């Protein structure tokens, strides 16, 4: 699982899981799932492009998509993290991006929140532990 921590100033993007399955109704960063590990170069390029296109899909041009003037700064890519659930082992990485400007609107499943309000949103333990270590 590749979790994208997309920030702009004091704002961050989250999405909410549906009901059923792991992490039912919890919030998490935009993510991509893969059945293989990708090298850092591919994470920084191909996977980042894929996740950013998810954020602008279905957004009308007047809604402000990313456009050509968006500045994307890759701050860091975490080392691989292994997280054990009772029935499943998750391998995760967290990719920190600074995006300027953020899209004016997002597809319905995404939301902007203030970084100071992040603790108010229930997140999976994997994310919670990472945010503690990364000092969010």
Mention every residue, 6+ apart, whose C-beta is less than 8 A from residue 69: 101
If one compares 30 and 65, the residue with the highest pLDDT of the two is: 30
Tell me the pTM: 0.86
What pLDDT is recorded for position 64? 46
Cα–Cα distance measured from residue 66 to residue 124, given in angstroms and rounded to the nearest whole number: 28
At 127, list the tokens: 């994310």
pLDDT score at 6: 93
CB of 62 closer than 8 Å to CB of 69: no
Q: What is the pLDDT of residue 125?
A: 93
CB 96 within 8 A of CB 56: no
Phi, psi torsion values for 17, nearest 5 degrees: -70, 150
44, 77 in Cβ contact below 8 A? yes
What is the domain-level CATH number for residue 70?
Answer: 3.90.79.10
Query: And the tokens for 16?
Result: 């909410």
What pLDDT, on the 0 to 100 scale, is given for residue 61? 44
Range of the domain at 53: 2-133
pLDDT tens profile 32-86: 999 889 999 999 888 888 888 888 775 444 444 455 556 889 999 999 999 998 8
- pLDDT at residue 28 in the model: 94
Domains in the chain, number: 1
For 89-117, write each residue's pLDDT tens digit: 899 999 999 988 877 778 888 999 999 99
Both structure tokens of 83:
């997280």
Strands (E), 1-136: 2-8, 11-16, 27-28, 31-32, 71-77, 81-84, 89-100, 110-114
pLDDT of amino acid 62: 40
Mean pLDDT of 2-31: 89
């Amino acid at each position: 699982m590749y979790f994208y921590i997309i920030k702009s100033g004091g704002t961050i993007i989250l999405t909410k899981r549906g009901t059923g399955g792991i992490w039912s109704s919890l919030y998490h960063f935009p993510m991509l799932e893969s059945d293989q590990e990708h090298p850092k170069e591919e994470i920084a390029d191909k996977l980042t492009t894929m996740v950013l296109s998810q954020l602008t899909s279905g957004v009308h041009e007047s809604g402000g998509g990313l456009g050509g003037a968006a500045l994307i700064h890759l701050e860091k890519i975490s080392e691989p993290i292994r997280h054990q659930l009772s029935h499943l082992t998750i391998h995760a990485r967290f990719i920190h991006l600074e995006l300027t400007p953020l899209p004016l609107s997002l597809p319905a499943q995404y939301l902007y929140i203030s970084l100071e309000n992040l603790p108010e949103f229930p997140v999976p333990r994997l994310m919670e532990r990472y945010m503690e270590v990364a000092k969010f």
